[in-house]
Structure 1
Amino acid sequence: MKTIGKFAAWSIVTACLALTVSSGIADAYTADSYQITRGQDLHWKNNIISTNIKEKDMQATSLTADSENQFKADLMLWNTFPIKSVDIAVTGEKELIPCGTPFGIRLFTNGVIVVGTADIPTQDGMVNPATCAGIKTGDIIQKINGKDVNQNEEVAALVEKSDGKALELELERNGRVFTATLHPVTCETDNLYKAGLWVRDSTAGIGTMTFYDPETGSFGGLGHAICDTDTGEVMPLRSGDILPVTICGIAKGEKGLPGELRGYFSNDTAIGSLCANVQAGVYGNLEKTFEGTSVTMAMKQDITTGKVQILTTINEDGPQYYDAEIESIDLRNQSETKNMVLHVTDPELLKATGGIVQGMSGSPILQNGKLVGAVTHVFVNDPTRGYGIFAENMLNVSQIVNPQAVSKDAA
């Protein structure tokens, strides 16, 4: 009897320990918020993790409603053990057109970005006014003596006309606005006043459009922000256009050397406008309707590891589907743009590009006929692999940064 008792006790301890470990793992690898479509159960991993919310439960007293479509609920392990409380947003199914088309980006900054500082030769030796003022690479100059500046020429003109008097600069650094006093000096070479600043006010490049929303005429693309090539900082958008692009060649990706799609702007006529350049991509509105077949957007919890297709353009044939696999998924949203790891398996794409190359960012990822995400990054040491962002994340950001992207049904 004692042996049986000990065995039972150890069994209970082992079961409790297993449950504790399982709950801890589930907590570490599950998100704190989810979206579900009306009438949908929230469950995945063969029902290992779930919550019992259904449309008929929306008015249940056990659920706490924060707003019309926002609820608090318990995330459950094996439909029995609560893991943690999560936020649930109930929404309608969203239909989007996956694009996979390259587009040119012409972006003008809000303010000017400091991309470097320089020593100025003066009668008193080499002087760096920018450094003396506490200005650093990556800072964004917004105003000089209270005047908005958005172009390199405006900064140069104000410095040259300063007559050597101190200039008050309003700058932004890591989201914090501050002021600095800059003292221009006379350059011994050309006898002009200089500030020792290298600045940038615009950029241009090529990316891939991810989706078009036929309800609103809005689009999302790239899957990651456009950043300054020198500072790595997100380019603050003042205005921008997208233009048609023709792909004319490929630099194949190799280990340690990312490849790229080579192309040119087909013409200078804008086909759409940008309204946001943020961590999760670029967003805006098209001038004309994008023709294509819409598909349902998958919620992040519905995505599984396994086979997918990438829709992308690598030549004059236009968007084509290529095989790939999702190797891992991170529901925690610790990184807004690196939600899953992709592995390109399509022989044709591997032969042409080596895998994922620059310019493919934003290429839609489809699984079981649904839009699940977009390509965002390539692994430098393995171009056959890279990261992808959830389509759900991109749509949510689009509806925040672009008022036109919110359909009447969602308003």
Structure 2
Amino acid sequence: MSGALASRTEQLTLFGVFPIKNVNVTEVAEPVVIPCGTPFGIKLMTEGVLVVELTGFDTGDGIISPAREAGIDEGDVIVSISGKPVSGNKDVSRIIEESGGKTLGVELIRSGEHRVVFLKPSKAASDDSYRAGMWVRDSSAGIGTVTFYDPSTGIFAGLGHPVCDTDTGEMLTMSCGEAADVYISGVKKSTAGAPGELIGMFTSDKASGSLLVNSECGVYGKMGSSPTLKSAVPVAMRQEVQTGAAEIYATISGCEPECYSVEIEKIDMGNSTDCRNMVIHVTDERLLDKAGGIVQGMSGSPIIQNGKLVGAVTHVLVRDPTRGYGIFADTMLECAKSAAG
């Protein structure tokens, strides 16, 4: 929520003495959002299917993998086979079985580029079915944390990093998605070299919101109802973020967030789309005692400093889970505006 406050004319001068020209200056109100820290469930359907593993099978004449021979790689997104769009695992299995071993044109996306390869399925000796020698995935589900809600657009922001495939690490290309209510029943404590995780459950089969965007800077969507847990706060520009004391809102039990003390140790003003703009250190003994620091599922926890939203937790440092990375809040706000259209 922001808007112009007032306009005025200012004179530019050289060395503070020689007038150059007059310019119009417009004051703009600070954008304001509602910080959350509440857990939410993520249900995401991919665009096409993601190749997560290439495998071999016995044809009776030896072990082969038609997908590998065709030049298909793990991490590729298959969008159509023989001109037929595929949106799920069943589509792929059906088309391959119906091929009767004939060569199929496979349209896929790799590193953002469309390309076509040619796949010749073979019959497996074990059951006489035609196979391609690959495992694919068409959906993902998990738990994250809502960073903020923008009352001016109705958009919520979460995670601060993309939803990626657990096997390939590739960002999932989303066709549609849902947000769901979750309850955190426990936490697996982090230790050095072994990050912990929130343990939770979806509390309803019904969606509590819709996901619109899965991006490098998080997930964005529309909530079914606006949160009323906290008052709105200004969003800090990255130049306002300082090293020193701060707080995060996180939920490690139930569904209500609590405030925990942290320290911002390092700030990186580099790539604006990076989700590792700052290093935070958990100093709150309660969070250290309960969770060992940062755990998976806390991604998106809002970071508050000097009464402003300055960022969100994105990653835990594996070697030292009392520390983690955070993304600038102004980056997430820009992504939220783009999601609103």
With normalisation by structure 2, the TM-score equals 0.92
Uncovered stretches (5+) of structure 2, i.e. residues with no partner: 17-25
The equivalent of 1:106 in structure 2 is 43
- Write out per-residue CA displacement over residues 117-153 of structure 1, whole angstroms, 9 at most, x where no aligned residue: 1112113211110011000000000111111111000
- Write out per-residue CA displacement over residues 204-254 of structure 1, whole angstroms, 9 at most, x where no aligned residue: 000000000111111000010110011000011011101000000111100
Query: In the TM superposition, what is the alpha-carbon distance from 1:331 to its structure 2 partner?
Result: 1.1
Distance across 1 between alignment mates of 2:215 and 2:272: 16
Deviates more, 1:91-100 or 1:200-209: 91-100
Distance across 1 between alignment mates of 2:139 and 2:213: 14
- Bigger fraction of residues in helix: 1
- Write out per-residue CA displacement over residues 368-393 of structure 1, whole angstroms, 9 at most, x where no aligned residue: 11111100001101011010000100
Uncovered stretches (5+) of structure 1, i.e. residues with no partner: 1-35, 41-53, 63-78, 80-88, 404-411
Query: In the TM superposition, what is the alpha-carbon distance from 1:258 to its structure 2 partner?
Result: 0.2
The equivalent of 2:256 in structure 1 is 318
The equivalent of 2:245 in structure 1 is 307
With normalisation by structure 1, the TM-score equals 0.77
Q: What stretches of structure 1 move > 3 A for 4+ residues in a row?
A: 36-40, 54-57, 59-62, 89-92
Does 2:129 match 1:192? yes
Does 2:51 match 1:117? no
Q: Given residue 337 of structure 2, which amino acid in structure 1 is its aligned partner?
A: Q
Q: Pick one of 297, 309, 312 that aligns with 2:235.
A: 297
Q: Given residue 312 of structure 2, which amino acid in structure 1 is its aligned partner?
A: A
Does 2:195 match 1:258? yes
Alignment of 1:9-158 (within 5 A): 56-57=9-10, 92-158=29-95
What value does the CA root-mean-square deviation take over the aligned residues? Answer: 2.2
The equivalent of 2:302 in structure 1 is 364
Deviates more, 1:115-124 or 1:100-109: 115-124
Does 2:298 match 1:330? no
Distance across 2 between alignment mates of 1:131 and 1:171: 14
Distance across 1 between alignment mates of 2:282 and 2:139: 33
- Write out per-residue CA displacement over residues 306-337 of structure 1, whole angstroms, 9 at most, x where no aligned residue: 11000011112711110001001111226610
Q: Is the 8 A contact 1:208 1:362 kept in 2?
A: yes
The equivalent of 1:164 in structure 2 is 101
How many residues were matched structurally? 329
Distance across 1 between alignment mates of 2:255 and 2:74: 42
Distance across 1 between alignment mates of 2:266 and 2:164: 27
Structure number with bigger Rg? 1
Q: Is the 8 A contact 1:38 1:55 kept in 2?
A: no
The equivalent of 2:23 in structure 1 is none
Q: Is the 8 A contact 1:209 1:363 kept in 2?
A: yes
